[in-house]
Structure formats: C-alpha cells, structure tokens
Amino acid sequence: MYTIMTVCTGNICRSPMAEIVLRKYVEDAGLADRVQVKSSAVSSEEHGNPIDRRAQRALRARGYELPAHHFAHRITRDEIDETDLFLPMTASHKSALLRQIPSSDASEVHMYRSFDPKLPAVSAAQESRIDLVDPWYGGPEDFEIALDQIEEVAPYIVDWVSTQLDE
C-alpha cells in the first residue's frame, strides 16, 4: 500500500481533517485498495486526544464520515518507515518532521498546499507563504477556511499520487 501521512502540530485539527478529506478523495478516485491515508503530529502535546470538536463539526457539516476513534499521536518510527508521502501542513511542521525522519526520506516530504497549481511556487525559505491556516485560536470560520484549503488541494494530491502509482 502506498501510504500518505498528513502531519501537523498535535494531530487534533489540521492533519486529521486532511486525512479524512484525502481519504474520501482517494476512495472517489478508486484508489482505496492501493492507497491509505493516515495522520500524525510532530509533537506529543495532544497525545491520546480525539479530533477537536470544532474540526469535527466542520467535517460533519460538509458530509464527511468521521472515524470511530482517533488517537492523537506523534509520528512513530514504524509510520516513518512505511510512509511514501509526508504532507506537513506548515513550513514549521516540515522543519520539525525533517528532524525526525532519515535524511534519505527528505524527498518524500512536500508541503500540503505545494500541490495547488494556483499558488505560486516558493523556495524553501518562503514555504511559510503556503502554510495551511491554523484554526486552533480562531472560531468556526477559521475551521471552515482550513477545510476550504484542504479540499482545494486534495484532488491535485490524489492526481499526483495516481501518477506515482503508474510509474
């Protein structure tokens, strides 16, 4: 199985939202038998917590099915070893992730929004310009914005993964 790993700070908002959305797009593309989508964190500060209630509300409002259980956790060595595509939500997540994975896996790390052809290509020093919005300190509208950004890019990620599977 080709494994996609979405990554954020605590694995309670952005990365599980992206996991759920991407999984739906993978299923809709008929790739569920070849691609799995998971999520994790670069820290253990939310270890064991469920998906944030505000993220759950935003996902449900758009018709996404939530997993029966979500266990927020820091990415594990086994997950690193089995992942083919790492999708950090922000430049700071990418930086933290690159410190946790073998340098030989660095080419498998791509900013989530870097797949959006409508966004300008950015250098490594400018990657924070394409960060996925952080809804944590905001209200419901910030979760909607984050979900908008996640949904906007999901089809491009699935298309890219599909080409990787064909190679």
Q: Is 52 a catalytic residue?
A: no
Classify residue 35 by its DSSP letter: E
- Dump pLDDT digits (tens) for 96-131: 999 999 999 999 999 999 999 999 989 989 999 999
Q: Is 13 a known active-site residue?
A: no
* DSSP-assigned beta bridge partners for residue 41: 8, 74
- Which residue out of 84, 105, 116, 134 is catalytically annotated? 134
Check 8, 13, 23, 52 and give the catalytic one.
8
Residue 127's closest CA among 159, 94, 155?
94
pLDDT at 54 over 90: yes
Instruction: Give the C-alpha separation, 137 to 166, whole Å.
Output: 41
Model pLDDT for residues 14-32, shown as the tens digit of each residue: 999 999 999 999 999 999 9
User: What's the whole-number mean pLDDT along residues 10-15?
Assistant: 98
Q: 103 is written with which tokens?
A: 């340098």
Q: Is 134 a catalytic residue?
A: yes
> How many residues are given for the chain?
167
Band (167; pLDDT cuts 50, 70, 90): confident
Choose the catalytic residue: 13, 14, 52, 54.
Answer: 14
Give every CB contact of residue 131 below 8 A, 6+ residues apart in sequence. Answer: 89, 90, 91, 92, 111, 113
What is the value of pTM for the model shown?
A: 0.97
The CATH number given to 2-157 is: 3.40.50.2300
What is d(CA 101, CA 22) in angstroms, rounded to the nearest whole number? 22
